[in-house]
């Protein structure tokens, strides 16, 4: 009997579900619009349970084929107690014992993790960070987050909120205040004197050699590189994996990131770190469930 993991990536817009095989491949998918259900916790949970069953029916499987379920959520999660503490962008979720609720409903082991750690686990085992003992995975999007693999295991911190690289001080603000989506958007509007310009447009402009667009990404890369130089001096990492929506522009961000690290990180640290782009892209939040179930499942 083949064993699968169900990976569930809860986002502010969509809930994405995937059936993940032992090799870390997604063999079936579903998705739900979060907002339809977001005012009612029970309805969202019902919809997720239904979607899990639909996934199984699609593949002619039953719950008996499911080894475990891993759920990534955007907020403060206690993976050890299995409790959703707080989701800033989904109202009404405070101290929800989601692990127990889902386990009782599904009859299979369920584990929770925050979304960025889920992505980090996926990149570590199946993505750009394969085989690394000391690396950081950064997500550039509306928020700027990060997950850490240190000494060969996930590092969650004392209260499970480690990795908040977007909130590291930079000049009088924080990194996120310079390179979070909203800031980049607003800055692009000013530079191109067009408040409807999208970041995708600035990417396209850079591709055809537009100097202002190249400079735009270069500046963002310099901010990212400055913060990363500090992280590298502090943690002496082997690799930094960059993901999230904004990382689509990796080729225009990377030169400034690398140059700034070389300038501002110490020689030993900067000589041994690689900065690379995510390999699994948007699937990482689902695939990470594979590792989460095994990692937390063993400890329990």
Binding interface with a second copy (CB under 8 A): 76, 133-134, 146, 150-151, 153, 155-165, 167-169, 171, 226-227, 229-231, 233-238, 264-266, 268-269, 272-273
- Sign, CA dihedral 154-44-4-282, equals negative
In angstroms, rounded to a whole number, what is the distance separating the alpha carbons of residues 40 and 243?
31
- Residue 92 — φ and ψ, nearest 5°? 90, -5
Q: Are 230 and 260 in contact (CB under 8 A)?
A: no
**What is the sign, positive or negative, of the torsion defined by CA atoms of 77, 277, 263, 207?**
negative
With beta carbons less than 8 A apart as the criterion, state whether 96 and 83 touch.
Answer: yes
If the CB atoms of residues 32 and 229 are measured against a second copy, the closer one turns out to be: 229
- Which residue lies nearer to a second copy by CB, 82 or 163? 163
Instruction: For the CB of residue 256, give the shortest distance to a second copy in the complex, in Å.
Output: 15
Count Cβ atoms below 10 Å from residue 266 Cβ, excluding itself. Answer: 11
Minimum gap (Å) between residue 274 Cβ and a second copy? 11
Cβ distance to a second copy smaller for residue 34 or 227:
227
Q: Which is nearer to a second copy, 150 or 281 (CB)?
A: 150
Query: CA-CA distance, 150 to 239, in Å (whole number)?
Result: 11
Q: How far is the CB of 167 from a second copy (least distance, A)?
A: 4
Closest distance to a second copy from the beta carbon of 97 (Å) = 19
Q: Toward a second copy, which CB reaches closer, 34 or 226?
A: 226
Pair 40, 48: CB distance under 8 Å: no
- Specify the residue, 77 or 205, whose C-beta has the smaller distance to a second copy: 77
Cα separation, 127 vs 106, in Å, equals 29
DSSP lists the bridge partners of residue 270 as none
Q: How far is the CB of 91 from a second copy (least distance, A)?
A: 19
Nearest distance in Å: CB 132, a second copy: 9
Indicate the DSSP class of residue 253.
H
């Amino acid at each position: 009997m083949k064993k699968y993991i169900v990976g569930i990536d809860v986002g502010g817009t969509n809930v994405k579900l995937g059936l993940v095989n032992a090799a870390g491949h997604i063999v079936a998918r579903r998705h739900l619009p979060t907002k339809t259900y977001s005012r009612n916790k029970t309805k969202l949970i019902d919809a997720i349970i239904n979607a899990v069953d639909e996934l199984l029916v699609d593949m002619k499987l039953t719950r008996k084929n499911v080894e475990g379920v891993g759920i990534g959520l955007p907020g403060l999660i206690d993976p050890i107690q299995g409790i959703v503490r707080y989701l800033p962008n989904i109202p009404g979720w405070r101290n929800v014992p989601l692990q127990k609720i889902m386990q009782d409903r599904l009859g299979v082991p369920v584990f929770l993790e925050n979304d960025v750690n889920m992505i980090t686990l996926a990149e570590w085992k199946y993505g750009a960070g394969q085989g690394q003992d000391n690396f950081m995975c950064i997500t550039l999007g509306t928020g700027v987050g990060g997950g850490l693999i240190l000494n060969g295991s996930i590092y969650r911190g004392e209260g499970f909120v480690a990795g908040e690289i977007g909130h590291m001080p930079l000049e009088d603000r924080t990194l996120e205040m310079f390179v979070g989506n909203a800031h980049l958007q607003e800055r692009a509007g000013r530079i191109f004197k067009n408040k409807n310009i999208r970041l995708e447009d600035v990417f396209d402009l850079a591709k055809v050699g537009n100097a202002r667009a190249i400079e735009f990404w270069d500046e963002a890369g310099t901010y990212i590189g400055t913060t990363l130089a500090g992280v590298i001096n502090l943690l002496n990492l082997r690799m930094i994996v960059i993901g999230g929506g904004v990382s689509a522009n990796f080729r225009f961000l990377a030169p400034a990131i690398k140059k700034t690290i070389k300038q501002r990180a110490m020689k030993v640290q900067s000589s041994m770190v690689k900065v690379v782009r995510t390999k699994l892209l948007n699937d990482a939040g689902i695939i990470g469930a594979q590792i989460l179930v095994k990692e937390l499942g063993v400890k329990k």
